């Protein structure tokens, strides 16, 4: 497996600019290669800032929104209007601000019963995404990182870490909630997986994962078969990374 690609910037605003530039490059490369840019978004406060930046006039003109397909890497099992909804966060911070709408928006239809939500999302992945060895292939999967090593809605000791499904519905005991998530087979088929991590509280887990790429924590299991793992880190989260 190739070494992870580290993108380190001291200040969060500069880090977000760097990630926006990287996403713009990858989007244009994907459009040149196969006509569309397929990306799975993540939730969280730092991605919210990234989406606000991407929704600004400068970046609206830079990314090929009319050829971009938006999915979500994971979602809370709440209605799309709920304050905890990742879709709602992206809608308010990005989608509502775009003058050119994305070519495709495929959210988790959490207003349905959970088996129907899974089936609907699986059908959407099957219909729209290109395949690699029979598995839907994203150009980019954006990921966050929890202090215990979780990413998307893949938590330590979860039974779905060994799952083979493209999408999963899982109960998270530590949070007392149900969630939807892309499964590891889908995440690891992506051309690029990109972690966006900020803040000193994440420094220890960043170091642990980078020091042990063959570990068993969920974030350590993000190992794209033919792609790359990128780590976008601010100075605080990268403080323990060996220079």
Determine the pLDDT at residue 174: 87
User: What pLDDT tens digit does each residue of the chain (243 aa) get?
Assistant: 789 999 999 999 999 999 999 999 999 999 999 999 999 999 988 999 999 999 999 888 899 999 999 999 999 999 999 999 999 999 999 999 999 999 999 999 999 999 999 999 999 999 999 999 999 999 999 999 999 999 999 999 999 999 999 999 999 998 899 999 999 999 999 999 999 999 999 999 999 999 998 899 999 999 999 899 999 999 999 999 986
SS3 string of the chain? CCCCEEEEECCHHHHHHHHHHHHHHHHHHHHHHHCCEEEEECCCHHHHHHHHHHCCHHHHCCCCHHHEEEEECEEECCCCCCCCCHHHHHHHHCHHHCCCCCCEECCCCCCCCHHHHHHHHHHHHHHHCCEECCEECCCEEEECCCCCCCECCECCCCHHHHCCCCEEEEEECCCCEEEEEECHHHHCCCCEEEEEECCHHHHHHHHHHHHCCCCCCHHHHCCCCCCEEEEEEECCCCCCCCC
Instruction: Indicate the CATH number for domain 5-234.
Output: 3.40.50.1360
Determine the pLDDT at residue 171: 96
Locate 138 and state its tokens. Answer: 């994203």
Q: Where are the domains of the chain?
A: 5-234
Please provide residue 227's backbone torsions phi and psi, each rounded to the nearest 5 degrees: -120, -165
Determine the pLDDT at residue 58: 85
Determine the pLDDT at residue 213: 83
- Sequence-distant (6+) residues with CB within 8 A of 140 are 23, 26, 37, 38, 39, 40, 190, 191, 192, 193, 194
Nearest to 237 by CA among 193, 194, 205: 205
């Amino acid at each position: 497996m190739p070494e992870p690609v580290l993108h380190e910037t001291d200040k969060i605003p500069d880090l977000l600019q760097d990630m926006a530039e990287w996403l713009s490059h990858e989007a244009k490369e994907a459009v040149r290669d196969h006509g569309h840019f397929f990306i799975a978004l993540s939730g969280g406060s730092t991605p919210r800032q990234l989406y606000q930046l991407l929704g600004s006039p400068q970046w609206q003109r830079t990314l090929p929104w009319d050829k971009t397909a938006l999915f979500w890497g994971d979602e809370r099992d709440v209605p799309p209007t709920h304050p905890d909804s990742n879709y709602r966060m992206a809608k308010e911070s990005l989608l509502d601000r775009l003058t050119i709408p994305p070519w495709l928006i495929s959210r988790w239809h959490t207003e349905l019963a959970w088996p129907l939500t899974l089936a609907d999302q699986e059908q959407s992945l099957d219909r729209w995404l290109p395949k690699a060895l029979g598995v839907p292939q994203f150009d980019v999967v954006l990921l966050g990182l929890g202090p215990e090593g979780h990413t998307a809605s893949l938590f330590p000791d979860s039974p779905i870490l060994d799952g083979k499904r493209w999408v999963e519905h899982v109960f998270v005991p530590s949070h007392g909630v149900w969630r939807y998530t892309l499964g590891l087979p889908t995440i690891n088929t992506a051309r690029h997986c990109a972690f966006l991590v900020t803040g000193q509280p994440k420094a220890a887990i960043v170091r642990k994962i980078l020091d042990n790429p063959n570990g068993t924590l969920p974030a350590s299991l993000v190992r794209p078969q033919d792609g790359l793992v990128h780590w976008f880190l601010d100075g605080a989260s990268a403080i323990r990374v060996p220079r």
